[in-house]
Amino acid sequence: MTASKREYRGRLAPSPTGLLHVGHARTFWIAAQRAKESKGTLVLRNEDLDPQRCRPKFADTMLEDLSWLGLRWDEGPDCGGPCAPYSQSERKARYLQAWRRLRDGGFIYPCTCSRKDLALAATAPNDADDEPIYPGRCRSREDAAKFAEPAGVNWRFRVPDGEEVRFQDARLGPQHFIAGTDFGDFIVWRRDDVPAYQLAVVVDDAEMQITEVVRGADLLKSTARQLLLYRALGLTPPGFYHCDLVVDERGTRLAKRHDALSIRQLRDRGWTPAQVIAGLGALPR
Ligand SMILES: [Zn+2]
Q: How far is the CA of 143 from the centre of ligand 1 (A)?
A: 13
Q: How far is the CA of 212 from the centre of ligand 1 (A)?
A: 34
Q: How far is the CA of 239 from the centre of ligand 1 (A)?
A: 33
Q: Are strands 108-111 and 164-169 parallel, antiparallel or unpaired?
A: unpaired
Q: How far is the CA of 152 from the centre of ligand 1 (A)?
A: 13
Query: For the residues 57-62, what does the mean pLDDT come to?
Result: 92
Mean pLDDT lowest among 66-80, 117-131, 185-199, 226-240 = 117-131
Residue 225 binned pLDDT confidence (cut-offs 50, 70, 90): very high
- State pLDDT tens for residues 149-171: 999 999 999 999 999 999 999 99
Residue 27 in contact with residue 34, Cβ under 8 Å?
Answer: no
Q: What percent of the chain has pLDDT over 90?
A: 73
Q: What is the pLDDT of residue 118?
A: 82
Ion ligand 1 contact residues with beta carbon within 5 A: 111, 113, 137-138
Residue 196 has pLDDT above 90, yes or no: yes
Q: What is the pLDDT of residue 258?
A: 57
Residue 253 binned pLDDT confidence (cut-offs 50, 70, 90): low
Q: How far is the CA of 122 from the centre of ligand 1 (A)?
A: 11
Q: Map 107-145 to HEC letters.
A: CEEEECCCHHHHHHHCECCCCCCCCCECCCCCCCCCCHH
Q: What is the pLDDT of residue 246?
A: 72
Left, alpha or beta for 209 (phi > 0: left; psi -120 to 50: alpha)? left
Q: How far is the CA of 1 from the centre of ligand 1 (A)?
A: 40
